Each structure stands twice: as structure tokens, then as C-alpha cells.
Structure 1
């Protein structure tokens, strides 16, 4: 079911945002164009399809795509893609498995949904936009009766890894869990000695996952194409944080 919400913060007028399933070739290209604008500008990423102004790969055609649209302008302002266990089996694996060896994946009890390529237009990066996107994700989780949500969240590496190491120090202390699955990076980050007083903010998407109750399952992987450190996250549906579960109320 499509979700519509009104959002407002101090710096922007009221917006009417609508969550939707992105169906068909035109909608997919719209999502790929938004991904290209965000990833190329923020990470200077090397993207397949860049000559067309798109971010595209072989997984896109096998994924479901959802997004958030500003009804005033008609613009797509957020998107993510979803790969379920059936499609992953046909592909020979999940996208995350290109970066991590996922020990324990086959032993997870219940259906698994992988989330990836999530991005939000910089002008719309607030809790309201993410909540609208999450509401549509909740519908998908509910319809497919998925028990686990997994994927990668990125930390920029343009500073040589200082931010990534500072963030990982926090994540290891509070959010590391390998009980259900252990993610071993295929390309680990180089070791970096960091003073104890270095503090870094979690990227918005990674912070959103942690607030929902997600755990990280190991050390990050270096992604040279995107110039980021990817952290593997796993969210067990019945362990959603009650404070934020309202965004997933349809799936709980």
C-alpha cells in the first residue's frame, strides 16, 4: 500500500512525500539516475552506466525497487533496492557476498531480504524522508514474511580511513554481534592507529539501521569503486527496537 506523509523542518516548507513501488523500465532508470547523482557527487564513485548518467549493474533487473517521491515536484528523492532469497539463489548469491564471506547465512531460519543501493537526495535527508521509505519497506517485509533484513552500509574513506576507524570503534563496542552470522571482508581495511580522542558521526543511513535494532556482523570491507568502507548489517525482524518499530508497524 502506498504511503503518503507530510514532512516539514525549520529550513524547508511542508512537503508531501509518497512512498511507492518503482515498476517498469522508466521507473528503474529514474532510480538509477538518482543513484548516479548521489554516488558520483559524494563518493566520486566509478559507476557502470556513468556515460548514460546512471548507476546500474546486473543485479538491478532481479531486484524490487522502492522509492519516495515529492508530490509537489514529481521528483524521486529516495530509493533502495531489495533482493530476496529466491532471486539471489538464481543469481548464485547476494550482492553482499561479492564483498563478504557470510558464514552462517545458510543456517538462518526464515526468509531473508537484502537491501542495497539506498540513497536520498541531499535536500531531503531528514527523518521524515527515511520514515516514508521505511514504511514501504515494512510493507514488503510483511508481504514476503521476511524474518531477516541484511545489507551493507557505507562509510566514506576519502580521509584515508580515519572516520571509518573511529566509527568502527563505536560499533564494535555497542553493535557487534556474530551470533547469527559472521561477515568476513574479502578486502579488509588496512590497519590504522587512531588516537582515542577522535570522534566521528555515524552516516545517516548507518545510524538509521542501528536505531532500528540492526547489528554489525564483523569488520568492514574496502570498496575501491565507491571509495567507501562497507559495514555488513543484519536486522532480525523480531528484534526491532520498540521506539523505532512504528516505522515498520506493518511488518511486526
Structure 2
């Protein structure tokens, strides 16, 4: 599936294409991009850092998708997907390392977990996310998944001010425990901030909210990544109509 966007600074039309990342070489490309973003920007402590990669035991059990710039051949965005069957074989979803997910077993229909999503800083815009989302939609439709869940991160490099301020906004509009309640295993450190402090919601978290996702509880402090992880759940039936065309009904 192709999507294009124009880069105003170079006047060169970017030709972006989504793809399934299959095989060892493609996986290493995804791990290298993840390392560049998570280690370079967040200063995360990553397994595989000595090789310039972000890797863990979940990678081999996940499907990986990405977005490639056809002009340069570079992988510029990636995410990984773990479905309920693979998670059953592993004994857990990745999110369960950070949260106790009350109600998970009661969800009606198959579940797909999204994680390790990252976009090259030079491509961090709506166009790139739209290409990635369209490929995600294909995977959701092929597997007839009823729910998409996972974590979205907020930087803690400022000591937690942004995370607390963002959560103040999310609680009012997006907090919902109707289907699942996510209890963080390591809650954020207590921090008293004024109610009028404003913080920008990170682009990926904002994108999930626009799709119709809900926040299922308070965030978890991931010290290795130096972020606050917010657990999100998207029921496919509740997709925002504006974006539902990307997630057309499976046939």
C-alpha cells in the first residue's frame, strides 16, 4: 500500500510504502530503528545495545510491520504485533510485564497487542502514521481482531511533569474501565503539579485517541526506557468514523 507526502524543505516527493517485515534482515532493520529512537532520544537502557539494536524475547513471536522511504530505501517507521495465540504460548502479553490487566480474559473476541512503535524523527508526521495505520488495518482485518491494545509512552526526562499533566487531560476525556482495568505494577512517583499546567500529548498517544482508543488506568513508570507508559484499548466497533475507513470491515 503506497502513500506519498511532499517534504517542503527539499521539494522532493517522499514515496512511502508500508510493508511486512519478514526475515532476519528486516527484523534487524526494525531493531536498529528502534535503537536509534529509544536509545538516541530517550536514553533507554536496551538489551542488544552493544550491537546497536533494541531486541527482546518477544520479537521472535511478533509480526513486524514498517514504512519504507522508497527514494532512499530506509525503514522510517515500525511497530510489532503480538496476537492472543502467540501470547498464550509465551504465557503473557508484553503489557502484562508492566500492568495487571483485570478483565483481559473476559474480552469477547480475539486480541492484538501493538508495541515498540517508533518513527524516525525526520518522518514524524501524520502522513507516515497514516501509512503505518493502513497496514495495521490490513492485519486487523485479516485476523478479524476485535480489540487492539498496547502501551503509549510519555517522556519522564523532566521528572514526570509532562506525564502528570498529560494524564490530567486524559482522565477527563479518555479514561474508561468498562472492558478492562490496567493496574500499573510501578505507579508514577507522586508529584504535585498545578492543575493549570499544560503539556502536549505525544503524537503516537494522540493518534490512538483519535482512532477511538481509551485509557484503561494510571500509567506505569518504565525506568529502563525513562517513560510513563499509558495502557490503551481500542474496541474495533468503537472506531472513530473519521478513521474507520482505514480499518474497513473484514471480508
In the alignment, structure 1 residue 159 sits paired with structure 2 residue 158: yes
Q: How far apart are residue 196 of structure 1 and its match?
A: 2.0
Does the CA-based 8 Å contact 1:138-1:251 persist in structure 2? no
Q: For residues 45-85 of structure 1, what are the alpha-carbon distances to aligned partners after superposition, in whole Å with 9 as ceiling and x for unaligned?
A: 00000000000000000000000000000000000000000
Provide structure 1 residue ranges, at least 5 long, that are not aligned to the other structure: none
RMSD between superposed Cα atoms in Å = 1.1
Provide structure 2 residue ranges, at least 5 long, that are not aligned to the other structure: none
Partner residue, 1:191: 190
How many residues matched?
A: 250
> Please, what TM-score do these two structures have when normalized by structure 1?
0.97
Distance between the aligned counterparts of 1:134 and 1:89, measured in 2? 25
Partner residue, 1:7: 5
Partner residue, 2:127: 128
Distance between the aligned counterparts of 1:251 and 1:114, measured in 2? 18
Does the CA-based 8 Å contact 1:139-1:250 persist in structure 2? no
SS of 2:78 mapped into structure 1: strand
Does the CA-based 8 Å contact 1:156-1:164 persist in structure 2? yes
Partner residue, 2:63: 64
SS of 1:243 mapped into structure 2: helix
Q: How far apart are residue 9 of structure 1 and its match?
A: 4.8
- Map 1:15-26 → 2, pairs under 5 A: 15-26=14-25
Distance between the aligned counterparts of 2:126 and 2:242, measured in 1? 14
Does the CA-based 8 Å contact 2:7-2:14 persist in structure 1? no
Distance between the aligned counterparts of 2:41 and 2:147, measured in 1? 29
Q: How far apart are residue 246 of structure 1 and its match?
A: 2.5
Q: For residues 154-213 of structure 1, what are the alpha-carbon distances to aligned partners after superposition, in whole Å with 9 as ceiling and x for unaligned?
A: 000011100000000000000000000000000001121111221000000000000000
Distance between the aligned counterparts of 2:248 and 2:150, measured in 1? 21
Runs ≥4 in structure 1, deviation > 6 angstroms? none
Distance between the aligned counterparts of 1:249 and 1:41, measured in 2? 36
Distance between the aligned counterparts of 1:10 and 1:186, measured in 2? 44
Partner residue, 1:201: 200
Q: How far apart are residue 42 of structure 1 and its match?
A: 1.1
Q: For residues 120-177 of structure 1, what are the alpha-carbon distances to aligned partners after superposition, in whole Å with 9 as ceiling and x for unaligned?
A: 0000011110000001000000000000000000000011100000000000000000
Distance between the aligned counterparts of 2:249 and 2:5, measured in 1? 20
Distance between the aligned counterparts of 2:72 and 2:139, measured in 1? 26
Q: Which moved more, 1:11-20 or 1:153-162?
A: 11-20
- Map 1:10-49 → 2, pairs under 5 A: 10-12=8-10, 13-49=12-48
Does the CA-based 8 Å contact 1:177-1:215 persist in structure 2? yes
